[in-house]
């Protein structure tokens, strides 16, 4: 018996790894507005001060209303943390 050198099967342990197809690229990100209307920029109305704290959903800063000088706490929540329209 003679062995064929044109065999299509590689020797055991020398098999080629399976070809893995990468997942499709995500669609380009679109701007999603949380509110149904555009609001004025926060920096136009308030001076953003020091960081007061940080929690699971966002960061709270000291904010001073420019027109009155009144201090407020302002919590900033990333849009990706908002799950539904009510959030």
CATH assignment of the domain containing 51? 3.30.200.20
Alpha-carbon span 80 to 49, nearest angstrom: 24
Domain contains 64? yes
The answer to whether residue 74 is domain-embedded is yes
Number of structural domains in the chain: 1
Residue 13 binned pLDDT confidence (cut-offs 50, 70, 90)? low
Mean pLDDT (whole number) for 35-54: 88
pLDDT tens by residue, 45-85: 999 999 999 988 889 999 999 999 999 999 988 777 666 66
Looking at the chain, list the stretches that DSSP marks H as alpha helix, in order from N- to C-terminal side: 42-45
pTM for the predicted model, two decimal places = 0.52
Rounded to an integer, what distance in angstroms lies between the CA atom of residue 8 and that of residue 12?
Answer: 12
> What is the model's pLDDT at position 10?
66
In a domain? residue 20:
no
* Residue-range definition of the domain harbouring residue 63: 43-81
Asked whether residue 67 is assigned to any structural domain, the reply reads yes
CA distance 67 to 40: 14
Q: Evaluate whether residue 38 is within a structural domain.
A: no
- Per-residue confidence band for 41, with pLDDT thresholds at 50, 70 and 90: confident
């Amino acid at each position: 018996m003679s062995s064929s050198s044109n065999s299509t099967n590689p020797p055991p342990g020398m098999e080629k790894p399976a070809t893995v197809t990468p997942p499709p690229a995500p669609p380009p990100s679109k701007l999603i507005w949380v509110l149904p209307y555009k609001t004025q920029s926060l920096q136009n109305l308030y001076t953003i001060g020091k960081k007061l704290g940080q929690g699971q959903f966002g960061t709270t800063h000291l904010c001073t209303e420019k027109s009155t000088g009144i201090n407020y706490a302002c919590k900033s929540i990333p849009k990706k943390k908002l799950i539904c329209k009510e959030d």
